[in-house]
Amino acid sequence: VLRYCESLHGRWNLQEIRAVFLRRHLLQNIALELFLATRTAIMFAFENQETVRNVVYQLPRVGVGVKYGLPQSRKTSLMTPRQLFKHSDMCLKWQKREISNFDYLMFLNTVAGRTFNDLNQYPVFPWILTNYSSEQLDLNVAANFRDLSKELIPELFYLPEMLRNDNGFDFGKRSDGVKINDVVLPKWASSPEEFVLLHRQALESDLVSCQLNQWIDLIFGYKQKGPEAVRATNVFYYLTYEGAVSLKSIENATQLEAIQQQITSFGQTPVQLLAEAHPPRHSVMTMAPLMFRRCEDDLCMLMKFISNSPVVFLAANTFQQLPQPTVVSVAQNLVFALNRWDNSYTYGAATRGALCISGDKTGEADNAAVS
C-alpha cells in the first residue's frame, strides 16, 4: 500500500488485516477499506481502479472476512456490492431468524459501501419510534412505531455515550438561553443506557421485523431509483447516485471542483443491492409452528431401571458417534445408562400414544431406576 499512497500517517501490520472491501470515493470506485483485528478500519483512496486491483493483490488473502459465508479470497474482495449480497448467506439467515435485525442492517450497510470513515457514506438505520412523550413505552403498541420511511444513525442502537457530553464541549445556548449539554431523553428512558436498550428492543420487535424489508427496498433495493423511487417519493439530487458522473471525463478544472463540492455536500446514496423486492422475514410461527399447535395426543415417556437410586442427570444425545437417538442418565450411585426408544412397547388398552425408553447397562453396578 505504501507504494501507492503518499503522506500516510500510520503503519499497520498486514497480519492484522481481517477483511478487504472495495469502496467509493466521490462516487468513483477507487477506494479500499481494510478491517483489522484491533476492531479498527482504514480507508484508502487511489488514483484509479487499476491501482486498487494491484493493491488488493499485494494484501493478504482474507476476502471480506468470515461472517458472510463467502470465500476468503482476493476475488471476493474485488466483488461488487451486488455480487457480495447475492452470494452471501446473510439474507437467508435473516429470513430464518438466525441473525438479528441489527446484524443484518450492519451487513447491508457494509457491503453497500457505507462506512464510518466517510461522512458522505455514513451507515443508515431506520427511524422506528414515534412516541417520545409517554411515561412508559409499550413495544406491543403499533401506534408507538413510525412507518420506517426515514433514517437514523446506528449509534442510537448501541452507543449510549453519544447522548452524554462526557467531553464537556461548549455547544452554546438555545434561543431560550438554556445551555446545550446532554441530550434530553424522553420520559420513558431514565438514562442513556435505558434509551439505547429500549431502542434496540424496538428494532428487534416483530412490528419492525415484518416491515423492515420495505425499508430495505427504499434504501438498498428496487425503490432506490427509477420509476419505483418516483412513486415512493424517494428521489434525491442526481449527483448522489452511483454512476451519475465520471470525474475523469471532466476537463474543466472549475467544473470538476464544483461537482466534487456538490458530491461532498449532498452525500452519496448507497449502492443498489437488489433490482427486485426484498423477501420478508419469516414469522416465528412459520419457523416453529409446533410451538403454536395443540398436541392431539399425549406422549407417554417411560424410563425403567432396576435400582431405586435417584437419577440426578439427564441429557439428550448430541454425539454423532452414537448410531441411534439416546437419552443419557446418571444416577446418584454414579451409574450411568444410555436409554433408547422402544418402539415395540404398548401401554395396555390406552387410546393415547406411548413410547418407552429402555436402559442399557454401562457399568458393573445395576442401572438406576426412575419412572
Examine the pLDDT at 234 and tell me if it is beyond 60. Answer: yes
**CATH 3.90.1150.10 at 80-224+270-287, yes or no:** no
Residue 289 has a pLDDT of: 54
pLDDT tier for residue 356 given thresholds of 50, 70 and 90: very low
pLDDT by residue (tens digit) across 258-296? 999 999 888 899 999 999 999 999 987 666 555 555 555
Residue 9 has a pLDDT of: 67
Residue 331 has a pLDDT of: 85
Q: Which three cell numbers stand for residue 135?
A: 411515561
The region that residue 26 occupies, defined by phi over 0 for left and psi between -120 and 50 for alpha, beta otherwise, is left
Which range among 142-146, 222-226, 267-271, 343-347 shows the weakest confidence by mean pLDDT?
343-347
Examine the pLDDT at 319 and tell me if it is beyond 80. Answer: no
Per-residue burial over 114-151, b = 16 or more CB atoms within 10 Å of its CB, e = otherwise: bbbebebbbbbbbbbbebeeeeebebeeeebbeebeee
Residues 6+ apart with CB under 8 A from 249: none
Residue 99 has a pLDDT of: 94
Residue 344 has a pLDDT of: 61
1-78, which class in CATH?
Answer: mainly beta
Q: What percent of the chain has pLDDT over 70?
A: 81
Question: Is the pLDDT higher at 47 or at 1?
Answer: 47
pLDDT by residue (tens digit) across 99-156? 999 999 999 999 999 999 999 999 999 999 999 999 999 999 999 999 888 899 999 9
Q: Which three cell numbers stand for residue 277?
A: 423486492
Domain boundaries, the chain: 1-78, 80-224+270-287, 300-361
pLDDT tier for residue 368 given thresholds of 50, 70 and 90: very low
